[in-house]
Chain A
Amino acid sequence: MSEPGEANLKHLDEMTCLLYLERQLDRARGLEVSSHTQECESCRTLLRALERESRLLTRAMFEDNEPLPSRLAQFQEAARRPMQWIWGLAFGLAATGVYALYTTYIEPWQEQLQQAGFSGTNLLGLLIFQSPFWKGWQSMITLLEILALATLGGLGVMFLRRRIRRGSALALVFAGLCVAMAMPTPASATEFRKGDRITIGKDEVVHSDLYVASGQIRIGGTIEGDLVVAGGDVEVSGHVQGDMLSASGQVRMTGQVDGSIRGYAGNITIKGKVGRNVMTFGGDVNIDHDAAITGSVTTGSGRLSLDGHVGRDLLAFAGQSNLSGQIDGSVKIRGGELNIDSSAVIKGPVDFEGEREPQVSPQATLASPVHFVKRTRGPNYSNPHYYVWQVIWMAAFILFGLVLYSLMPKFSQEAVKSAEQYGAAAGLGVLVLFGVPIAAGIACITVVGLFIGVSTLFVWWASVYFAQVVVGTVVGQWLMGRTGEFWPVVGRMAVGVVIVRLCTTIPDVGGWVKFVAVLWGIGAISLAVFRRFQPVPATGVTVPPGAQPLPPNTTVGGPVPA
């Protein structure tokens, strides 16, 4: 291939020629190549051939200008159309749903709770936020305020992320919310005590809130603030001027609590005086003959025995309730059995919803006969409202799915794909369905983890609903075939969700269908999340041992002719 006169030249290799053409050689090497090609016809031809090859490649790639496929053109139309109507619909229906839930569930409960002496607060605040941990901002946080804060935070993120990066915007907004939450009056001074056995002597006075954690706790003195106890065996015979909160195995209160008693105990006995209300959850709740509760009693227990005096109302969820004391307000009980003894005096109406007729002694003093409603298990198929609600739920699920597919199209499709891995999805579903609430519950126990725990529970709860949407989409795809386009996917999801929801209404089997759907779907969602967080392996070129890389700015070819 060499021409006469070039025999003494060593030709450039192809790599050097390519890097020269692509301007990847350093200046010195480039000059050498340039100089060489002026003398060497063969290398000049090679350079020209490589350059033509580059041009051919570029031309081939740019020619054959295929028109945009109709599918992409439709996508373009969808991209051009604002999706505000979805949001309008979503918010409208969400507002209606919130109103329906509020009027159906929350308002009646609230009324009951207000009757029971818990006026001025709401259910969520009562169950979650009423404790000394939250005492400083108890008055601030109501359900509406939380929603308003969340909305404000969301709007803040949307506003800020247009100006700064998303992570920074989130950090800023959350920091702002934390500061806002920290602003209200902090809790008063607090004293902590822990040990195997803690005793507050009869003459001892604690001038602040007292937190005690111990196996055995004896409170004989005076606590000028709140008393918070966590222990195996607790006895309070002294005087607590604030509230008493307990999470203990066994509690006996024989002294005086000026505020309210709240908490959980395996066995709780109240023999003393309570200035305000009692709200307890436990195995056995005994309100002794000597007990005097100025306010109301709210309890959820296996067995309730009330022999003392309650100044206001009784609201109970109990397997067995025995009433032999005096209740100045109304009584509402849901549970298995109700016995009203001869010594009982109830000055308000008595409502009982249970499995058996209440046993009422003829000698008992009641303002009116007991209003009894027999509880039926499972849905009431003869009630038209049941079917109306089923339709509402189907519509809500489809709307929920539509919103999720609009907000997270890729993740939703990944979840659906993951659902087709039946074994992995089901296995992970078991783990997540049962494991996450347990983990969240454990997180909630610690003050620091409360926010994380409650947030996790909310996400888990939302996932339970999303799971049914995912399973609905899979069922829809089985029936109507796969597709990657938005509206056909939504159509399949709607058909599938209707089928799944219909299956869940089948007597006896429906519950299991729902359980399997949730298990399967939540597993698929978890699998999709898991894959998202999987690190992508690096795709570096495999370099055999000893192989030298070829730096583009250095000589790659053979030695340059002298």
Chain B
Amino acid sequence: MSAPGITEPTEAIARARAGDAEAWGELYREYAPAIFRFCRRAMPTREDAEDATMEIFMKLKGKLGQYDATRSFSAWLYKVAANHCWDILRRRKIRQDKETEDVESVPLEHPEPSQLERLIEQRSSEEVRKALEKMGPRARMALVMRYYSDMSYDEIADSLGVRRAFVGVVLLRARHELRQALEGNAALAAGGAS
């Protein structure tokens, strides 16, 4: 779980923790693009993503002392970013999205596999990104945490404030919402018939 192509700059982290401004600049240059991309996927608008990126790095200055050097820095950084973004979204009182409302109705059926395959094969990355923008904040955040920053179920549960047992449900519902956004096909999004 690290930003692609980034090896952990252990020395810069240690110097930044000791208050070295130049090392702090190095860390920013190294990680800001990845964190901005994370925020870009998680937040509804580009401006929100820019604001969130700056706030995350400002917050990071104060939190760097809490970083456990035995763990992956990028993993920790993504956790901080995820918590921050989710805090912002939650404060906007948009936390009630579909997944949380009908947990009980999570489909346990067997969808039509060939139909699902066709949908996936026909869609481009660009279409998926556009579909992501149409999704509810919780669903989008769950997908970004899992498939962009590769966070574990425990970490996702902690960040979203849900029980670990529900993370799979949240992710599956998010996929359904994504399919619905991609296709506009409610029947497929709901899982289809077995």
- Give residues in A with beta carbon < 8 Å to B: 1, 11-15, 18-19, 22, 24, 42-43, 45-46, 48-50, 52-54, 56-66, 68-69, 71-72, 75-76, 79-83, 161-162, 165-166, 409-410, 484, 536, 538-544, 547, 549-552, 556-558
Select which of B28, B121, B163 is within 8 A of A540 by beta carbon: B163
Q: CA A38 – CA B163 in complex, angstroms?
A: 32
Whether B50 and A71, one on each chain, are in contact in the complex, defined by CB atoms closer than 8 angstroms, is yes
Cβ contacts A to B, 29 pairs, < 8 Å: A1-B112, A14-B107, A14-B111, A14-B191, A15-B106, A15-B172, A42-B110, A43-B113, A45-B113, A45-B114, A49-B117, A56-B128, A58-B148, A59-B125, A61-B132, A65-B33, A69-B46, A75-B57, A79-B57, A80-B29, A166-B65, A410-B55, A484-B51, A541-B162, A542-B103, A544-B103, A544-B104, A547-B103, A552-B164
Q: In the assembly, what is the distance between CA of A22 and CA of B123, in Å?
A: 22
Task: Report if B9 contacts A (CB, 8 A).
Answer: no
Cα-based distance from A281 to B51 in the complex (angstroms): 55
From B29, B54, B120, B165, A49 is in contact (CB under 8 Å) with: B120
Instruction: From the candidates B17, B129, B147, B169, name the one contacting A15 in the complex (CB within 8 A).
Output: B169
Kindly report which residue of chain A lies nearest to residue B90, judged by CB atoms: A539
A172 to chain B, nearest CB (A): 15
**CB of B73 within 8 Å of the partner chain:** no
When C-beta atoms are compared, the residue in chain B nearest to A556 turns out to be: B108
**What distance in Å separates the Cβ of B127 from its nearest Cβ neighbour in chain A?**
8
Complex: A484 Cα to B51 Cα, angstroms:
8
Minimum Cβ distance to chain A for residue B108 (Å): 4
Encoded as 1 (CB less than 8 Å from any A CB) or 0, chain B from 92 to 113 comes to 0001000111011011111111
Summarize B's interface: helix, strand, loop or mixed. helix
A271 to B34, CA, bound (A): 82
B144 beta carbon closer than 8 Å to chain A: yes
B32 part of interface (Cβ distance < 8 Å)? yes
Q: Which B residues contact A (CB, under 8 angstroms)?
A: 4, 17-19, 21-22, 24-25, 28-29, 32-33, 36-37, 40-41, 46, 50-51, 53-55, 57-59, 65-66, 86-87, 90, 95, 99-101, 103-104, 106-114, 116-117, 120-121, 123, 125-126, 128-129, 132, 143-144, 147-148, 153, 160-172, 175, 178, 191, 194
Min C-beta distance of B148 to chain A, whole Å: 4
Knowing A18-B168, A66-B37, A80-B21, say if A538 contacts B110 (CB, 8 Å): no
- For A53, list chain B residues within 8 Å (CB): 116, 120, 175
**What 7 A-B pairs come out closest when comparing CB atoms?**
A80-B25, A539-B161, A45-B113, A60-B128, A11-B110, A60-B125, A46-B113
Q: How far is the CB of A554 from chain B (nearest CB, A)?
A: 9
How near does chain B come to A412, taking the closest CB pair, in angstroms?
12
Which residues does chain A contribute within 8 Å of B126, judged by CB atoms?
60, 64
Q: Which residue of A lies closest to B91 (CB)?
A: A536
Write out the residue numbers on chain B whose beta carbons fall within 8 Å of the beta carbon of A12. 110
Complex-state Cα separation, A52 to B32, whole angstroms:
29
**Residues A43 and B110 in contact, CB atoms below 8 Å apart:** yes
The residues of B that contact A45 with a CB separation of less than 8 Å are 113-114, 117
Q: Are the CB atoms of B28 and A80 closer together than 8 Å?
A: yes
Q: Which of B18, B120, B143, B160 has the most A CB atoms < 10 Å from its CB?
A: B120
The residue of chain A having its C-beta at the shortest distance from the C-beta of B144 within the complex is: A61
Task: Evaluate contact between B110 and A72: CB separation under 8 angstroms.
Answer: no
Taking a contact as CB atoms under 8 Å apart, the answer to whether B110 and A540 are in contact is no
Write the chain A residue with the least CB distance to B42.
A61
* A66 in contact with B36 given A15-B172, A76-B25, A76-B28 (CB within 8 Å): yes
Q: Determine if A72 and B36 form an interchain contact, defined as CB atoms under 8 angstroms apart.
A: yes
Chain A, Cβ-Cβ closest to B169: A550
- State A75–B37 Cα separation when bound (angstroms): 16
B113 near A22 with CB under 8 A, answer: no
Structural contact, A543 and B53, CB atoms closer than 8 A = no
Q: Which residues of B contact A83 (CB under 8 A)?
A: 21
Task: Please give, as numbers and ranges, the residues of chain B lying within 8 Å of A43 by CB-CB distance.
Answer: 110, 113
State the CA gap A83–B166 with chains docked (Å): 46
Is the beta-carbon distance between B19 and A542 smaller than 8 angstroms? no
CA distance A35 to B116 in the complex (A): 22
In the assembled complex, the Cα of A63 lies from the Cα of B112 at a distance in Å of: 29
Central interface residue in A60, A65, A71, A82, by most chain B CB within 10 Å: A60
A141, chain B: closest CB distance, angstroms: 32
A37 to B: closest C-beta gap in Å: 11
- Shortest C-beta distance, B48 to chain A (Å), equals 11
Q: Can you add 17 more A-B contacts, CB < 8 Å, to A46-B116, A543-B104?
A: A14-B172, A15-B168, A15-B172, A18-B175, A22-B171, A50-B116, A53-B120, A57-B147, A72-B36, A75-B28, A75-B57, A80-B24, A83-B21, A410-B55, A539-B162, A540-B163, A550-B106
Contact check, B22 vs A80: say whether CB atoms are below 8 A apart.
yes
- Contacts A43-B110, A56-B128, A69-B50: A79 and B24 contacting too (C-beta < 8 A)? yes
Report the minimum CB–CB distance from A183 to chain B (whole Å). 31
Q: Which residues of B contact A552 (CB under 8 A)?
A: 153, 164-165, 167-168
In the complex, the answer to whether A69 meets B36 with C-beta atoms within 8 Å is yes
B residues in contact with A162, CB < 8 Å: 17-19, 65
Q: Are A24 and B153 in contact (CB under 8 A)?
A: yes
Cβ 8 A contact of B113, one of A42, A64, A75, A82: A42
Q: How far is the CB of A57 from chain B (nearest CB, A)?
A: 4
> Could you tell me if B32 and A539 are in contact, using CB atoms closer than 8 angstroms?
no
> In the complex, what residues of B have CB within 8 A of residue A24's CB?
153, 168
- Please, which residues of chain A bring their CB within 8 A of the CB of B166? 541, 549-550
Separation of A484 and B143 alpha carbons in the complex (Å): 29
B89 to chain A, nearest CB (A): 10
Q: Is there contact, CB below 8 Å, between A63 and B125? A: yes
Contact of A539 among B28, B95, B110 (CB under 8 A): B95
Q: Which residues of A contact B18 (CB under 8 A)?
A: 162
Enumerate chain B residues within 8 angstroms of A46, measured Cβ to Cβ.
110-111, 113, 116
Closest A residue, CB atoms, query B29: A76
Other-chain residue from A1, A56, A82, A538 in contact with B161 (beta carbon distance below 8 A): A538
Q: Is the CB of B33 within 8 A of A68?
A: yes
**Which one of B66, B90, B104, B121 contacts A165 once the chains associate, using CB atoms below 8 Å?**
B66
Residues of A within 8 A of B28 (CB): 75-76, 79-80
Q: Closest chain B residue to A13 by CB distance?
A: B108
Contact assessment for A557 and B108 in the assembled complex, using a CB-CB cutoff below 8 Å = yes
Report B31 CB to chain A, min CB distance, Å.
11
Q: How far is the CA of A83 from the CA of B19 in the complex (A)?
A: 12
Contacts of A13 in B (CB 8 A): 107-110
| Distance A547 CA – B100 CA, assembled complex (angstroms) | 12
Cβ A11 vs Cβ B106 within 8 A: no
In the complex, residue of chain B having the shortest beta-carbon distance to the beta carbon of A539: B161
B84 CB, nearest partner CB in chain A, Å: 11
Q: Is there an interface contact between A61 and B41, defined as CB atoms closer than 8 Å?
A: yes
Q: How far is the CA of A46 from the CA of B188 in the complex (A)?
A: 13
- A543 and B103 in contact, given A24-B153, A53-B116 (Cβ under 8 angstroms): yes
